[in-house]
Structure 1
Amino acid sequence: MKIYDVIGWACRVVPVLGVIALAGCGGDEPKGPEGLVCAAPATTPLPASPKGPLSWKGPGGPAQTYSSEALGVNCAFLDGGPEDDTDHHNTVTMLDGYLVMPWAPEWGGGGLSTFRFDDPCAPAPVGTSFSPLMRETHAAGFARMNGWKAVVNGVNGIQFWDLADPAAPTVTSDLSFEGVFWPDAYARVVLSVFWQAPYVYVAAADNGIFVVDATDPAKPVPLTKYKFDPPLRAGAIFAVGNLLAVMAAEGSRTVLLDIGDPARPTPIPGGTFEIEDGAGVRQEAYHAHLNGDKTWYARKSSGGGLIIYDISNPEAPRYAGDYHAPDGNGGYVFLKENVAFIGESHFAEAVDVSDPTKPALLRRFELTGDLDTIIPIGNVVVLSVDDKADEDHGSAVAPFLEAPDTRGPEVTMVNPRNGATSQPLTTRIGLTFGEFVDIGSLWEGSFFVRKLGTTEPIRGQYSGQEGIVNFWPASPLEPDTEYEVVVPAGGVVDFNGNPTQTEFRSTFKTGPCALPPKPTPYVEEEEE
């Protein structure tokens, strides 16, 4: 049984048996269909301070100052060790005070490496591990479940890692899907993952998307397979609260889906669209990003650059702005403090998007190879190529700003939206920040949800990746109730330990007493 199977069964059977009520059930609470009894979820005392019990094992993010002459110049290279012989690298991030670098070629055989990164021009290797079943990883999700866990792309599906010991990452499990296989790099493989713990949303190209229950990462369970009609080559995937966004790989289409029932993604009316540039010409993107009520596309047709869409109303997405790099060929795009960082295959760029209608180039970066990825961390960037690298130079570090980062993260989006009503009892709450944040700083003091007018946060699970964080309540919410989402000043921190400077608040209301039926049992399909 899965999480909502148990709740649904218990809410119907336990009251009949006269057993003590569970969280989400109550003897004298409002009743819904089929005698379902709904109650307030379990809570925990509000901590005295939003400052979390950070206990990084590593030293944290960049702490160095650079001269103006050093900006944009590669000062160090990152290598995964002897088995990283193809130098195919992608998205790096920080976890537990260390830099985490996935590496793997398209055909598989890769691993995770960790580094001290407080002095980025002299990174110090901490640990590295290899798996023959890991393949090129365009995104990695993280959650704390008896220590840090990660999910990445696998040769035939997805793969979970245990990062409790940064010096010795280990594979926890592999999950294969029928129809997912190499050698086609785009048509049949998993292209990216998003972990809204405990569920993992998997973009599997022409296979569509999979929903996986990873409550136990050692024994992940496929729940749902969703295929798009007309077909969509699912490339990028992002979950923010009850919203799921899926973008085509090397295509122009985006589909926004409602995941208020987390096991059953449902297209939002009006939420499917084709991206266009400012002249109204349809363009293709290699990959995309979601942040700040906007979707950000790394353009790959008729040159490179950036295309921005406003999805603040998911039923009516609209063009917001674009930037054209005629000599580029888009790879991946990420955001930090109103700057978009775009891999352009032949180079990478930092583009000012403080006014999305008028993006402006700030700086270009160079690294030999297919330079698809540029990740901002503090006042430096990490450049990564996934083909044709110089030996042991799959990733490089380059200073971007002179002074270390001292600005704290700011909330740029919330889902459910402020003032939303009739939200399902299975609602998850998602935020985006203007930069990647340290997910170890997420706890009941720094990001919490509570019944409006009360003080105690409800209990639940935190997870995040790429500037997106999610909170999954441990039990269904109370019906017809207004909830408050709070991010106090001084709580959530970025990779340098800078905390939020201002408080953020938002509210939403739940709907009537109702829970979704248990997910339809997932049965693997035989390929024709």
Structure 2
Amino acid sequence: MALCALSILACGDDDAASTDAGAQAQDAGSDAGPPMRTPFCDPSAGAPGPYPAPDAFPAPRGPGVPAVTFEESALGAGCAFLDGGEWDVTDHHNLGVIYDGYLLMPIAPEFGGGGLAFFDLSDPCAPTRIGSGSSRQMRESHSIGFSSHGGRWAVVDGLRRALMRDAGGVQFWDVSDPTAPEAVSSLDLPGFLYPDAYARVTLSVFWQVPYVYVAGADNGVYVVDATNPRNPVLVRQVSFEPTLRAGHVQAIGNLLIVTAAEGPRTVLLDISDPEDPQPIPGGDFDALDENGRAREAYFTTATGGYVWYAKKEDGGGLMVMDIHDPTQPRYAGSYRSGGNGGYVFLHEHYAFVGESSVARIYDVSDLSNIRVVRELSLPGDLDTIVPLGNLALLSVDALPDGVDPNDQGSAIAPWRAEPDSNAPRVTWAWPQDGAEGLPPTSRFAVTFDEMIDVQSAWEGSVRLHRAGATPDEGRVAGVVSAQETIVTFSPFCPLERGEYVLEIPAGGVRDVSGNAVSEAFTATFRVGVP
């Protein structure tokens, strides 16, 4: 299958405009010029100096996921509902993640008008909302990306309602103060069209700093330079032939994974030039069930060298494809549950899948023998279950008739009795250990077996340095970013030819329960012609 890419500069297209949140779309200006190929590179900068200690990052303000033990009888049942505040009138939230020690929950109705809310989970069955912010230009977000470069930022999906024509794309937030998150800019993307909720809207985002990759349904994938989150710039739009309804997009180092919304197809792209994604030979494939037949998935996640698919109707459950070799994806496992899949997340050797009428937790330690270990319920279209240590966030897309919509769209439920005390573990690296001939614009990423505390992934805990020298002497300046289970190191400047080591030292990166990496990880790569 062929891939067609089209480059569109925001300053030269009326449909691609960066605006302040709450303001009308405006052209970025004819003098904006093309984006830099290496936005952070300063050739005159001196050596970055020695690494800080892996655990010297600022402590999170909130408690994270607390170490609470539950009785067996309490497992699987919601113990608290979550209310996002006065703007949270539809109780549509979708997902939630831990950020700065607090639960960050989007207020995200499909038709726009939402916001972000932060909760203290010190007592998980009596969470306290400590702050929230609202925006008329935010819509349903199936993912949240983060950047710690020059502040604390988040990116979500956006929608700007207008009398003559709706527009939308992505929206950026300043989340440096969890008590008062603030929308600071929006970027309209070409081709966006609402009210069709699937065909031409934005469905997910992934922030591999400085670039945000945006899944735009039938419009393909957008590449946005968010070096300055207050003034993001559209760099490129990538379309697919035949059309791929891009639902979820994730970047793991030089690899971009794009999966279809409500479809079986996946496309793997080489983003070693982050502004110019290119097809990987053999990397256009369908998710398969146990009988080798292509099956539709509602949504996916990629981690550990696998793509995990929440299977739709026709049996529901889970499908897994192995992408350790992106040129030869292959079937790895599946489970037929009788449900209707929504979203899927991974924690240790468990997969969490919302299946409309119920949420299921699967033991995936043996992909040839996937099995259900627990079921959880919440009235409504239960599409989302997010693992948070020994807790789970349950969220419905729609409440059933007759159910009071007041604050019952999302709930906290314990799923395991004992608190999470397991150290996060690296499960995959891309580029892979031993890779040669890498382009100088490469980025380097690892996946973990659980969601990571974003602030703990920083310059002291994720390191790239030249081989043959001490880490401090060979240190490469760059920026670290994290989203869910994926942690990325992006060099500031193109790398010189030679051998490099990616290092995750013990004691630095932490999971959302505060457990630090206990086993150091290293991978070696060679940049330039082998």
Q: Distance in 1 between matches of 2:335 and 2:39?
A: 49
- Residue 402 (structure 2) pairs with residue 398 (structure 1): no
Shift of 1:63: 2.1
Shift of 1:512: 4.8
Partner letter of residue 103 of structure 1? I
Q: Distance in 2 between matches of 1:435 and 1:129?
A: 28
**How many residue pairs align between the two structures?**
482
Shift of 1:282: 1.4
Q: Distance in 2 between matches of 1:146 and 1:511?
A: 31
Q: Distance in 2 between matches of 1:247 and 1:444?
A: 31
Partner letter of residue 222 of structure 1? L
Q: Distance in 1 between matches of 2:276 and 2:419?
A: 44
Q: Distance in 1 between matches of 2:40 and 2:147?
A: 23
What residue in structure 1 maps to residue 8 of structure 2? none
Q: Is the Cα contact below 8 Å between 1:44 and 1:459 reproduced in 2?
A: no
What residue in structure 2 maps to residue 475 of structure 1? 493
Moved more, 134-143 or 145-154: 145-154
Partner letter of residue 339 of structure 1? Y
Shift of 1:476: 1.1
Alignment of 1:39-118 (within 5 A): 42-47=47-52, 49-118=53-122
Q: 1:448 aligns with which of 451, 456, 463?
A: 463
Structure 1 gap segments, 5+ residues each: 11-20, 24-40, 514-528
Q: 1:258 aligns with which of 270, 274, 279?
A: 270
Q: Distance in 2 between matches of 1:82 and 1:290?
A: 35
What residue in structure 2 maps to residue 26 of structure 1? none
SS at match of 1:351: strand
Q: Equivalent pairs: percent with the same residue?
A: 51
Q: 1:122 aligns with which of 97, 102, 126?
A: 126
SS at match of 1:172: strand
- Residue 400 (structure 2) pairs with residue 363 (structure 1): no
Q: Distance in 2 between matches of 1:165 and 1:236?
A: 28
Shift of 1:46: 2.6
After superposition, give the CA deviation of every residue in 1:262-316 in whole Å (9 maximum; x if it has no partner). Answer: 0001010000101110111210000000000000000003021000000000000
Structure 2-normalised TM-score?
Answer: 0.89
Alignment of 1:295-310 (within 5 A): 295-310=307-322
Shift of 1:122: 1.1
Q: 2:296 aligns with which of 250, 260, 284?
A: 284
SS at match of 2:228: coil
Partner letter of residue 45 of structure 1? P
Partner letter of residue 223 of structure 1? V
Q: Distance in 2 between matches of 1:453 and 1:178?
A: 47
Shift of 1:380: 0.6
Moved more, 209-218 or 271-280: 271-280
Q: Is the Cα contact below 8 Å between 2:115 and 2:135 reproduced in 1?
A: yes
Q: Is the Cα contact below 8 Å between 1:62 and 1:380 reproduced in 2?
A: no
Q: Is the Cα contact below 8 Å between 1:89 and 1:104 reproduced in 2?
A: yes
CA RMSD, Structure 1 to Structure 2 (Å)? 1.6
What residue in structure 1 maps to residue 332 of structure 2? 320
What residue in structure 2 maps to residue 462 of structure 1? 480
Partner letter of residue 502 of structure 1? E
Q: Is the Cα contact below 8 Å between 2:393 and 2:411 reproduced in 1?
A: yes
Partner letter of residue 356 of structure 2? S
Structure 1-normalised TM-score?
Answer: 0.89
SS at match of 2:437: strand
Partner letter of residue 44 of structure 1? G
What residue in structure 1 maps to residue 241 of structure 2? 229
> How has the CA–CA distance of structure 1 residues 469 and 6 changed in structure 2, closer, same or farther, with 3 Å as cutoff?
closer
Shift of 1:42: 4.4
After superposition, give the CA deviation of every residue in 1:114-146 in whole Å (9 maximum; x if it has no partner). Answer: 000122111011011111110000000011133
SS at match of 1:422: coil
What residue in structure 1 maps to residue 16 of structure 2? none
Shift of 1:425: 0.4
SS at match of 2:317: strand
Q: Is the Cα contact below 8 Å between 2:459 and 2:479 reproduced in 1?
A: no
SS at match of 2:259: strand
SS at match of 1:358: coil
Q: Is the Cα contact below 8 Å between 1:211 and 1:263 reproduced in 2?
A: yes
Partner letter of residue 206 of structure 1? D
Q: Distance in 2 between matches of 1:43 and 1:451?
A: 13
What residue in structure 2 maps to residue 381 of structure 1? 392
Q: Distance in 2 between matches of 1:477 and 1:365?
A: 48
> How has the CA–CA distance of structure 1 residues 290 and 42 changed in structure 2, closer, same or farther, with 3 Å as cutoff?
farther
After superposition, give the CA deviation of every residue in 1:332-357 in whole Å (9 maximum; x if it has no partner). Answer: 00000010000001110100001122
Q: Distance in 2 between matches of 1:393 and 1:5?
A: 46
Q: Distance in 2 between matches of 1:143 and 1:339?
A: 27
Q: Distance in 1 between matches of 2:379 and 2:38?
A: 51
Partner letter of residue 2 of structure 1? P
Structure 2 gap segments, 5+ residues each: 1-33, 160-167
What residue in structure 2 maps to residue 432 of structure 1? 447
After superposition, give the CA deviation of every residue in 1:88-124 in whole Å (9 maximum; x if it has no partner). Answer: 1111001111110012111111110000012211101
After superposition, give the CA deviation of every residue in 1:55-90 in whole Å (9 maximum; x if it has no partner). Answer: 211122122111111111110011111211111111
Q: 2:508 aligns with which of 491, 502, 505?
A: 491
Q: Is the Cα contact below 8 Å between 1:111 and 1:131 reproduced in 2?
A: yes
Shift of 1:147: 2.5
After superposition, give the CA deviation of every residue in 1:438-487 in whole Å (9 maximum; x if it has no partner). Answer: 110112321101001222231111112111111111111111x1100111
Shift of 1:52: 2.7
Q: Is the Cα contact below 8 Å between 2:35 and 2:235 reproduced in 1?
A: no
Alignment of 1:402-421 (within 5 A): 402-421=417-436
